[in-house]
Structure 1
Amino acid sequence: MVTRLKKIKTMKRPFVLAAVMLGMFLAAIEATIVATAMPSIVADLGGFSLYSWVFSAYLLTNAATVLIFGKLSDIFGRKPVFMIGITIFLTGSTLSGFSGTMTMLIISRFIQGVGAGALMPIATTIIGDIYSKEERAKIQGQLSSVWGISAVTGPLLGGLFVDVLSWRYVFWLNIPLGILAMLGIFFFFHENIEKQKRSVDYLGSVWIVISVTSLLFILVEGGIGIPWNSTEMYGLIGLAVSGLILFINQERLAVDPMMPFEIWRHRIISIANLTSLTTGMILIGVSSYLPAFVQGVMGYSATVAGFTLTTMSIGWPIAAMVGGRLLLVIGYRATSLIGGTSLIIGALLFFLLSPDKGPVWAAAGSFFIGIGMGLTNTSFIVGIQNAVGWETRGIATAANMFMRSIGSALGAALLGGLLNSRIQTFIQNKELENEVSVDTANSLLDPQQNASLSHEVKSVLQEGLTSGLHLVYMGLLVLAVISFILIYFLPKKGQE
C-alpha cells in the first residue's frame, strides 16, 4: 500500500511541480512586466509623484505577509494557503487592470501583494515536501529557470502590451495563468495534514507593518508631500521607531515568533540576510527606473525599455546554475564574492549611463546585475538551508525572502524619494512652481503630451529626470559596494 502511494505521488509530482512553477512565475514576472508598463501607466493615469508607490505597495504587503503565510501553511497545510494566496493575488490583478486612478491602482497593488506573500514561500515549501534532499539539488536549476523565463518574457510582454494593446493587459495576463496553477494544485497535490496546536504571531506582523509603512511614507513623501520640519513627519518617525521597538519586544515574548532571532546567531544567516536587504534595493532600483530612463531620457519605446531589463533576466538564471556548481568547488563565500564583484560592475555601468550611451550600454549594466543576483542568491539560499536543521529551515528561508522583500520596498521608496526631490529642485531653481510640478514629468513618458510641452518646460523636466535618475544610479553603486563589504565577512570555506 505504501509503495503504491509512493508511486502515485511520484507520478503526480511533475504536475505539481508544473503548477508550483506557474505560481512562482506569477510572482516573479510581476516586477519586470509592471516596470516596463509604468511609463505608460503614469502617462494615462497621472500621478508621477506616486510612481514608486505602485512598487512599494506590492512589496510592502508581500513582505508583511510572507512569514505569516509560512506559519499558516504549517498549521492548515500548504494546499489551502496556496489556493487562498492565488485567489487574493488574482483579485488584486483584476482590480489593477480596471484602475481609473493612480490611487486605485496602488490600493489594488496592496491586495495583489498580500496574495504574492503566499506564492513564493509556499511554492518553495511544497517542493521541499515532495522531493528529497538529493532531488532538491537537481530541481534547483528548473526553479531558477522560472526567474529566467519570467524575467525574459516579462519586459517583452509588457512592452508589446503597451505598444499594441493596453497596459491593463499586463495585470489581466495573470488571470488565466493563475487559474491553471490553482487547477494543478487542486487536482494533483494531496497532503496528509497533521493538526498542530500552534499560535500565529499576528501582533508581530501588525507592528512590523506599522513600522515599515511609516518608514516608506517618510522616504517617499519627505520634503515633497510632507515637510521635514512638520508635525506629520515627527509623528511618522515616532510610529516607525515605536513600531520597530514593539516588534522586537513581541518577537522575544511570542511562543512562535514571526521572526525568531536565534537563527540570526549563525554568521552566514545574519550576513546573508543583511546583504539580501541591500541587493533587494539594487534589484528594485534597476527594475523600477531603467524603463523611465530609456523612455523618458533616451526617447526609446516601451519595447526597447523592456529589452534593457531582459538582459538582467538572462544573466540571473545562467549565474544561478553556474553558481550551484561553483558552491561545491570554491564554497559560498568565494562564489558570493564573484557575485558581489559583478554587482559593482553593473552598478558602475549605470552610474556612467548617459542619454548618448544608448540602450545597449544600459542592457550591459542589467546583465552584470543579473549575474550578481544569481550568484549571491543561490549561495545564500543553499548556505542558509545547510546551516540549520529541518525544524527551522522553512522559517530561515522565509526570513531571507522577507529581508529581500523589505529591501525592495525600502529601495523603491528611498530611490523614488531621491528622484522626486531632484526633479522638484530643478523646477524650483527655474522658478516654474506655478506652471509645472513633479507630476508633470508624466508628459515626458507620453509621445503626444511630450510634443505639446514648451521647450523650456520640456528642457527643465528632462534635465531634472536625467539628474534624478543619475542620483538613483549613484545610490545603486553605493549599495553594491556595501553588499560586497558584507559578503567579505561571510565565513570562509571550511568554517561553513
Structure 2
Amino acid sequence: MRPTHRPLTTVALALCLFMAALEMTVVSTAMPTVVSELGGLESYAWVFTSYMLSSTITVPIFGKLADLYGRKPVLLFGIVLFLIGSIASGLSTSMSMLIAFRTLQGLGAGAMQPVSLTIIGDIYTLEQRAKVQGAFSGVWGLAGLVGPLTGGLIVKYLTWHWVFFINVPVGLAALGLLLGFFHEQVQRKPQKLDFAGAALLSGGVVALLFGVQSLGRNLLALPVAAVLLIAFVLVERKVAEPVIPPSLFKIPAIAISSAAGALFSAAMFGATTYVPLYVQGVLGGSATLAGGMITPMIVGWPLASLVAGRLLLKTGFRPLIVGGLGLTVLGTGLMALFLNPHSSILVPELAMALFGIGLGFTATALLIAVQTSVGWELRGVATASHMFFRTIGGALGVGLMGGVLVSHLLKDPRVPVSAANELLGPEHGRGLPADVLQTLSGALGTGLSINFWIICAATIAAFAAGLFFPKSKREPGTSLPTTDVAAPH
C-alpha cells in the first residue's frame, strides 16, 4: 500500500474545513438579501437549522462508519454530497427549495467535519496535534476575513446564488488531494450497523427541534422527542455496535466536553445567525457590514487557538477551558447589555471579538481532550459524538431563537410577516407605511434583544459546566500505533 503524504493530506483536510467556515460567513452575509428577494422571513431560521439538523443527525452515524470502514470513503462521500447540495442551493428559486437543498448540504457536512478532525487525530501525535489544531483554526480566520467581503461583493455585483457555487472549486481540490495522497490500512471486520438507534436518534432530534422552535404551538413534538430519545438510550445500551456508545460518557472529560460544547455552540450559532440580521434589519447597515460583524469572532478564534495549542502541554486542559468560557461570558454579556438600536457599531464588533477569543481557547482544548481520552478504534465515534453535541446545541439554539423572533413578528395581526421582507431589502423598508415600519422594526429589535440574552445565558451555563472539568492532566503520547495509517512521506 502506498504511504500517506501527510502534508498534502493536511492541505485537503484544511480545504474541507475552509468550505465549512466559508459557508457560515458567506451565507450569513447573504441571507438578508435572500429573504428580501425570495420572501419568507418567518422561515429565516430554517435556512440555518435545516443545515445543522441534517448534519447533527448524521455526525455520529458517519463517525461510526469511519471507525468500521475507514475514514477515506466516508469523507469522500461527504464532500461529494456537500458539493451537490451547494450547487442545488445556488440554483434555488424559492425559500422552500433553499431549505431543502441546505438540508442535503448538511448531510455532507455531517461527514466532512468530524472525519476531517478524526484524521488529524490519526496522523499526528498529541504534541503535534496541539499545534496543528491551532494552525487549522487559522483556516477559520482566513474564511472569516474572506467570507464577509466575498459575500458582500457577490451580493452587490452578481447574485446571492453564487455564494453557494464558490464551494465547488474548493471541494474538487480537496477530493483530488485525498484520492491521490491519503491512504489508510483498515482491518475490516463484519459488523452490524445500529439502524434502530440511528432511526430513533434522527426522529428524536427532529421532534425536539420542532418542539423548541414552535414555542408551545406544537405541544405534541416535545413528548414525542422525549419518548424517542429515551428509546434511543435504551437501544444503545443493548446493541453490540451503538451509534453513540454510552460508555464514552463515563469518561468525565468527554461528558463535560459534550455539555459545554452544546451550550457554547448554541451561543455561537445564535450569534452568527442573528447579529448580522440585527445590524442590517435594526441598525440599517449594508449586507457587507452585517456580514463583517462575524469577522472579529472568526479572527479572534484562530489567534486564541494558536496560543492555546502552545499552552496546552504546559497548563493542561482545564485552565484553557475555564478561562476561555469566561471570556465568552464577557463577550455575550456585552452584547446583551449594550446592543440596542442606538448602539455604535463598535459594540457588536468588540462583543464578537471577545466571544471568538474565548471560543478559540475552549474549542481547541475540548476537542483534543476528547481525542486523547480514547484509542484509534473509538476516536472516530468519540470525535463525532463531541461534534454531535456541538451541532445539536447550535441547531436547538438557533431554532429556539427563531421561534422567539417569529412569535414577536406575529404578535400584531395587522402587520403581515411578509412585510418584514422589505425591511431587509436595499431600501430598508422605506416604501412601507410609517406605522408598519415602526411596528416591524420594534418587533424585530425586541425579538433579537431577547435572543442576545438567550445567547448570554448559554455561555454562562457552559462556563458553569467547565468548572467541573477534571483537573488532572493527561500525559501526551509519544508515537502513533502503526495500524493507524501508513507512514507518511
TM-score normalised by the chain length of structure 1: 0.91
Query: Contact conserved, 2:67 with 2:380, CA < 8 A, in 1?
Result: no
CA distance in structure 2 between the partners assigned to 1:282 and 1:169 by the alignment = 28
Paired letter, 2:100: I
1:339 aligns with 2:332: no
Count of aligned residue pairs for this structure pair? 474
CA distance in structure 2 between the partners assigned to 1:14 and 1:495 by the alignment = 27
Structure 1 counterpart of 2:298: 313
Gaps of 5+ in 2: 476-489
How big is the shift at 1:493?
A: 4.4
Query: Contact conserved, 2:140 with 2:299, CA < 8 A, in 1?
Result: no
CA distance in structure 2 between the partners assigned to 1:447 and 1:394 by the alignment = 46
Structure 2 residue corresponding to 1:295, chosen from 280, 289, 302: 280
Structure 2 residue corresponding to 1:354, chosen from 296, 321, 340: 340
Paired residues for 1:101-112 under 5 Å? 101-112=94-105
Return 214-223 or 243-252, whichever deviates more.
214-223
Query: Contact conserved, 1:61 with 1:110, CA < 8 A, in 2?
Result: yes
Paired letter, 2:406: N
Structure 2 counterpart of 1:59: 52
1:271 aligns with 2:256: yes
1:375 aligns with 2:361: yes
CA distance in structure 1 between the partners assigned to 2:190 and 2:357 by the alignment = 43
Paired letter, 1:104: M
Superposed CA deviations along residues 196-244 of structure 1, whole A, max 9, x for unmatched, are 2122222212111111111211222335xxxx3xxxx343233212211
Return 20-29 or 290-299, whichever deviates more.
20-29
1:366 aligns with 2:352: yes
1:240 aligns with 2:245: no
2:220 partner SS: helix
Query: Contact conserved, 1:159 with 1:305, CA < 8 A, in 2?
Result: no
CA distance in structure 2 between the partners assigned to 1:495 and 1:381 by the alignment = 13
Structure 2 residue corresponding to 1:453, chosen from 432, 435, 445: 432
How big is the shift at 1:319?
A: 0.9
Structure 2 counterpart of 1:440: 419
Query: Contact conserved, 1:68 with 1:202, CA < 8 A, in 2?
Result: no
Superposed CA deviations along residues 290-337 of structure 1, whole A, max 9, x for unmatched, are 111111111111111122110001110011111223323333222112
Return 206-215 or 144-153, whichever deviates more.
144-153
CA distance in structure 1 between the partners assigned to 2:424 and 2:204 by the alignment = 34
Superposed CA deviations along residues 129-175 of structure 1, whole A, max 9, x for unmatched, are 33344433332232221222222222222222112211111111111
1:385 aligns with 2:387: no
2:270 partner SS: helix
Structure 1 counterpart of 2:269: 284
Query: Contact conserved, 1:330 with 1:493, CA < 8 A, in 2?
Result: no
Query: Contact conserved, 1:298 with 1:358, CA < 8 A, in 2?
Result: no
Query: Contact conserved, 2:141 with 2:302, CA < 8 A, in 1?
Result: yes
How big is the shift at 1:467?
A: 0.8
Paired residues for 1:67-86 under 5 Å? 67-86=60-79
Structure 2 counterpart of 1:411: 397
Query: Contact conserved, 2:121 with 2:371, CA < 8 A, in 1?
Result: no
CA distance in structure 2 between the partners assigned to 1:128 and 1:382 by the alignment = 8
Paired letter, 2:282: V
Return 163-172 or 384-393, whichever deviates more.
384-393
1:200 aligns with 2:179: no
CA distance in structure 1 between the partners assigned to 2:448 and 2:69 by the alignment = 46
Query: Contact conserved, 1:353 with 1:362, CA < 8 A, in 2?
Result: yes
Structure 2 residue corresponding to 1:481, chosen from 448, 460, 465: 460
Gaps of 5+ in 1: 428-432
Query: Contact conserved, 1:277 with 1:405, CA < 8 A, in 2?
Result: yes
How big is the shift at 1:361?
A: 1.4
How big is the shift at 1:440?
A: 2.3
Query: Contact conserved, 1:76 with 1:193, CA < 8 A, in 2?
Result: yes
CA distance in structure 2 between the partners assigned to 1:216 and 1:70 by the alignment = 22
Superposed CA deviations along residues 13-67 of structure 1, whole A, max 9, x for unmatched, are 2222111111121122222221111101111111111111111110011011111
How big is the shift at 1:195?
A: 2.2
1:9 partner SS: coil
**Percentage of pairs with the same residue:** 40
CA distance in structure 1 between the partners assigned to 2:139 and 2:22 by the alignment = 9
Query: Contact conserved, 2:9 with 2:177, CA < 8 A, in 1?
Result: yes
Paired residues for 1:254-265 under 5 Å? 254-265=239-250
1:451 partner SS: coil
Check 1:479–1:449 CA distance in 2 against 1; reply closer, same or farther (3 A cut).
closer
CA distance in structure 2 between the partners assigned to 1:334 and 1:131 by the alignment = 24
Structure 1 counterpart of 2:385: 399
Structure 1 counterpart of 2:3: 9
1:450 partner SS: coil
Query: Contact conserved, 1:211 with 1:244, CA < 8 A, in 2?
Result: yes
Structure 2 counterpart of 1:491: 470
CA distance in structure 2 between the partners assigned to 1:267 and 1:439 by the alignment = 48
Higher-RCO chain (CA-CA 8 Å, sequence separation at least 6)? 2
1:250 aligns with 2:235: yes
2:203 partner SS: helix
Return 282-291 or 24-33, whichever deviates more.
24-33
1:190 partner SS: coil
CA distance in structure 2 between the partners assigned to 1:437 and 1:478 by the alignment = 31
1:163 aligns with 2:156: yes
Paired residues for 1:207-222 under 5 Å? 207-222=200-215
Superposed CA deviations along residues 386-417 of structure 1, whole A, max 9, x for unmatched, are 33334323322211111000001101100111
Check 1:197–1:495 CA distance in 2 against 1; reply closer, same or farther (3 A cut).
closer
Structure 2 counterpart of 1:470: 449
Structure 1 counterpart of 2:478: none
Superposed CA deviations along residues 346-401 of structure 1, whole A, max 9, x for unmatched, are 11121120122222211111111101111111111122223333432332221111
Query: Contact conserved, 1:308 with 1:360, CA < 8 A, in 2?
Result: no
1:81 partner SS: helix
How big is the shift at 1:422?
A: 2.0
Check 1:292–1:310 CA distance in 2 against 1; reply closer, same or farther (3 A cut).
same
Return 479-488 or 464-473, whichever deviates more.
479-488
Query: Contact conserved, 1:160 with 1:303, CA < 8 A, in 2?
Result: yes
Structure 1 counterpart of 2:487: none
How big is the shift at 1:128?
A: 3.1
Query: Contact conserved, 1:332 with 1:379, CA < 8 A, in 2?
Result: yes
Check 1:26–1:371 CA distance in 2 against 1; reply closer, same or farther (3 A cut).
same
